[in-house]
Amino acid sequence: MARRLRIITGIAAVVLIAGAAAGLALAWRPSIAAIAPPRPDAFDPDIIKRGRDLAAIGSCNTCHTVPGGGNYAGGLPVPTPFGTVFSSNITPDAATGIGSWPEAAFVRAMRSGVSRDGRHLYPTFPYDHFTNVSDADDRALYAFLMTRQPVSATPPANQLTFPLNHRPLIAGWKLLYFHGGDVPSDAAKGAQWNRGAYLVEGLAHCGACHTPRNALGAERVNAQFAGGEVDNWHAYALNDTSHAPVRWTADALYAYLRHGWQADHGTARGPMAEVVDNLSSVPDSDVRAIALYMADISGTSPSNGKSPADAVAQSSTAQTDPAGAAIYAAACASCHESNRPLPYGGVNLALSTAVTSPDPRNLVNIVLAGVGGVAGERSPIMPGFAASIDDAQMVALLKYLRARFGKRPAWNDLDRTVRDARAAQAVSLAARDAPGESSQRGKP
Ligand code: HEC
Ligand code: HEC
Ligand code: HEC
């Protein structure tokens, strides 16, 4: 289930810096000699299995597989404010993938964002996190990837504006923003917490979506987990600025990450649904570790110290928008306030970060598209309202939900948000229906 990621990976003014500071020496990295592709039976099956779990934690498939294309064959367009970067083919095909890469070249790519031939890679590939991955884990990832089906597929050329299409400039960006070594460790917190820190700050790259970025596309150091942007969704704040009406505990985080749903918070949608989907094959102990560490990050936000019952009881009864109230009563309340069981029972909206968040886009996305059921599971289902609610009705509904359940100041510019969300949804539906959008030449 690949998609267009909009992780902002700016490198704009790198131009200036690269010219002035970086210089040619830094901009140049040696090539590592090609090898004949190793035979799949050269790898230990246990290490391959470990690599599979690690690849799931790193969501490699989400960015490296296009709908209808070969697994890991690349070609997914990743939009940035400066143009589009296409993901690489990381299957063991010798000519178009990484089949001729020795392990050392793979480790260098993960560690420092450099391709086998010495070219700098765009930080759209989240090596600012992957740099924290251990050698042993990189080796397992390598073993996993080198034993996949080779696919012959060359991704389309990047569409970046001049001079950002010049890779040596990335050296300047790295000089400024690429440091690595930022996994906190604290023996007093125990092995599980430290395991969680290693995964969250490294392979799982949670901050790539949840941390806001600066004008040059680097994660803001002083705003870790303060909320970020991806693919027309807001990745909610997870630190002590979280707007979750009820505090995220380690148990709640575990349930949300394991099952994609938690009774006091609701469901994971959009790009987060894909993260949860990937995590579904990952050992329980690792999901617990991630939850434990994130619970510590989320700290004790003053705004979310309520119990679920209090959060629901305190929803405002002020009738701010009668038109919105009527739509809610007719179209939403029967599922969201009736304690219906899953799959049709949605959380009381007073528990949902979608209505308390400073950014209304996720709420709009979900009301337009609904929540799709997962085949073979008793997963939540909600119909989409794109066809039955027009823009003016949607705005009235949003105002009502914000006042009644969010109890926060009104959102601005809702007309535009609704228009943009409809347009983005039309684009993403069209992309999903058109598997030929990249120049994949994958063998079946
Ligand atoms: C957020 C999207 C994203 C994720 C997640 C991601 N990648 Fe990538 N990756 C990219 C993009 C985009 C490129 C191409 C960058 C460029 O051309 O400069 C890339 C490039 C690479 C390369 C360099 C290939 C070459 O030919 O130079 C390797 C190796 C790689 N990724 C491995 C991985 C692995 C392993 C994972 C999972 C642990 C992963 N990637 C997860 C987006 C991603
Ligand atoms: C590809 C981008 C992306 C990555 C990577 C990502 N998230 Fe998210 N996350 C999101 C988005 C978008 C949302 C909002 C989803 C929604 O509206 O349901 C979200 C929501 C959440 C929420 C719900 C917050 C709330 O208050 O409702 C939690 C908890 C969370 N993510 C934890 C994590 C953790 C832990 C990781 C790393 C293992 C992670 N996320 C990685 C994009 C991402
Ligand atoms: C057929 C039942 C049904 C109807 C009708 C329905 N929903 Fe839902 N809704 C759900 C289910 C099930 C979920 C996913 C489970 C959850 O979030 O608790 C959900 C999730 C949501 C969420 C995400 C909550 C969160 O943070 O996880 C929002 C927001 C939402 N619905 C708003 C609405 C609005 C607004 C309407 C009316 C226009 C509506 N729903 C109508 C069943 C329904």
Residue with the smallest CA separation from ligand 3 atom 41 is: 332
> Token pair for residue 307?
């119990």
Residue with the smallest CA separation from ligand 3 atom 20 is: 346
Give residue 8's pLDDT: 39
When divided into structural domains, the chain yields a total of: 3
Stretch among 7-21, 198-212, 297-311 having the lowest mean pLDDT: 7-21
Q: Is the pLDDT of residue 23 over 70?
A: no
Q: Are residues 173 and 24 in the same domain?
A: yes
Please indicate whether residue 371, judged by its CB atom, sits closer than 6 Å to ligand 3. yes
Does residue 440 belong to any structural domain of this protein? no
Residue with the smallest CA separation from ligand 3 atom 26 is: 352
Give residue 216's pLDDT: 84
Does residue 91 belong to any structural domain of this protein? yes
Q: Are residues 275 and 320 in the same domain?
A: no
What residues contact 368, with CB distance under 8 A and at least 6 apart?
384, 385, 386, 394, 421, 422, 425
Q: For residue 206, which ligand has an atom nearest its CA? A: 2
Give residue 437's pLDDT: 31
Give residue 2's pLDDT: 34
Pick the closest to residue 388 from 325, 310, 331 (CA basis): 331
Q: Are residues 32 and 161 in the same domain?
A: yes
Give residue 162's pLDDT: 82
Q: Are residues 35 and 165 in the same domain?
A: yes
Phi-psi region of 120 (alpha: psi -120 to 50; beta: other; left: phi over 0): beta
Does residue 1 belong to any structural domain of this protein? no
What is the rounded distance in angstroms from the CA atom of residue 199 to the CA atom of residue 206? 9
- Asked, as a colleague might, if the bond just before 343 is cis with ω within 30 of 0, I would say yes
Mutate to test the pocket of ligand 3, among 261, 336, 349 (most ligand atoms within 8 A of CB): 336
3-state secondary structure of 150: coil
What residues contact 47, with CB distance under 8 A and at least 6 apart?
139, 140, 143
* Mean of pLDDT over the chain: 87
Q: Are residues 149 and 256 in the same domain?
A: no
Pick the closest to residue 349 from 315, 383, 394, 390 (CA basis): 315
Does residue 2 belong to any structural domain of this protein? no
Q: For residue 205, which ligand has an atom nearest its CA? A: 2
Please indicate whether residue 211, judged by its CB atom, sits closer than 6 Å to ligand 2. no
In which element (H, E) is residue 234 found? Answer: strand 233-235
Does residue 428 belong to any structural domain of this protein? yes
Q: Are residues 218 and 172 in the same domain?
A: no
Question: pLDDT, tens digit, for every residue of 145-180?
Answer: 999 999 999 999 999 988 888 898 899 899 999 987
State the average pLDDT over residues 118-147: 97
Compute, in angstroms, the gap from residue 57 CA to the centroid of ligand 1.
14
Does residue 444 belong to any structural domain of this protein? no
Give residue 56's pLDDT: 97
Q: Are residues 165 and 110 in the same domain?
A: yes
Q: Are residues 378 and 394 in the same domain?
A: yes
Question: How deeply is 76 buried, as exposed, middle or buried, from its count of CB atoms within 10 A (0-12, 13-18, 19+)?
Answer: buried
State the average pLDDT over residues 50-65: 97
> Token pair for residue 132?
């924290």
Compute, in angstroms, the gap from residue 312 CA to the centroid of ligand 1.
43
State the average pLDDT over residues 395-415: 95
Q: Are residues 24 and 79 in the same domain?
A: yes
In this structure, what are the phi and psi dihedrals at residue 371, rounded to the nearest 5 degrees?
-125, 120
Mutate to test the pocket of ligand 2, among 209, 246, 269 (most ligand atoms within 8 A of CB): 209
Does residue 264 belong to any structural domain of this protein? yes
- Which has more pLDDT, 166 or 418? 418
Give residue 442's pLDDT: 27
Compute, in angstroms, the gap from residue 188 CA to the centroid of ligand 1.
35
Question: How deeply is 120 buried, as exposed, middle or buried, from its count of CB atoms within 10 A (0-12, 13-18, 19+)?
Answer: buried
407-443 b/e with 16+ CB inside 10 Å = b?
Answer: beeebeebeebbeebbebbeebeebeeeeebbebebe
pLDDT bracket for residue 432 (50, 70, 90):
low
Q: Are residues 31 and 140 in the same domain?
A: yes
What is the rounded distance in angstroms from the CA atom of residue 332 to the CA atom of residue 256? 23
Please indicate whether residue 99, judged by its CB atom, sits closer than 6 Å to ligand 3. no
Q: Are residues 176 and 191 in the same domain?
A: no
- Which has more pLDDT, 372 or 44? 44
Mutate to test the pocket of ligand 3, among 332, 394, 401 (most ligand atoms within 8 A of CB): 332
Compute, in angstroms, the gap from residue 234 CA to the centroid of ligand 2.
9
Whole domain around residue 260: which residue ranges?
A: 187-304
Residue with the smallest CA separation from ligand 2 atom 40 is: 206
Give residue 302's pLDDT: 55
Considering 271, 304, 337, which residue would you say is the last residue of a domain? Answer: 304
Please indicate whether residue 366, judged by its CB atom, sits closer than 6 Å to ligand 3. yes
Mutate to test the pocket of ligand 2, among 272, 352, 357 (most ligand atoms within 8 A of CB): 272
Does residue 437 belong to any structural domain of this protein? no
State the average pLDDT over residues 209-236: 93
Considering 155, 181, 207, which residue would you say is the last residue of a domain? Answer: 181
Cβ–Cβ under 8 Å, residues 413 and 405? no
Give residue 217's pLDDT: 87
Give residue 318's pLDDT: 63
Query: CATH number for the domain including 397?
Result: 1.10.760.10
Considering 181, 202, 227, which residue would you say is the last residue of a domain? Answer: 181
State the average pLDDT over residues 339-365: 91
Compute, in angstroms, the gap from residue 8 CA to the centroid of ligand 3.
29
pLDDT bracket for residue 444 (50, 70, 90):
very low
Instruction: For the chain, give the percent of residues with pLDDT over 70.
Output: 86
What is the rounded distance in angstroms from the CA atom of residue 26 to the CA atom of residue 174? 10
Q: Are residues 196 and 138 in the same domain?
A: no
Q: Is the pLDDT of residue 9 over 50?
A: no
Cβ–Cβ under 8 Å, residues 440 and 416? no
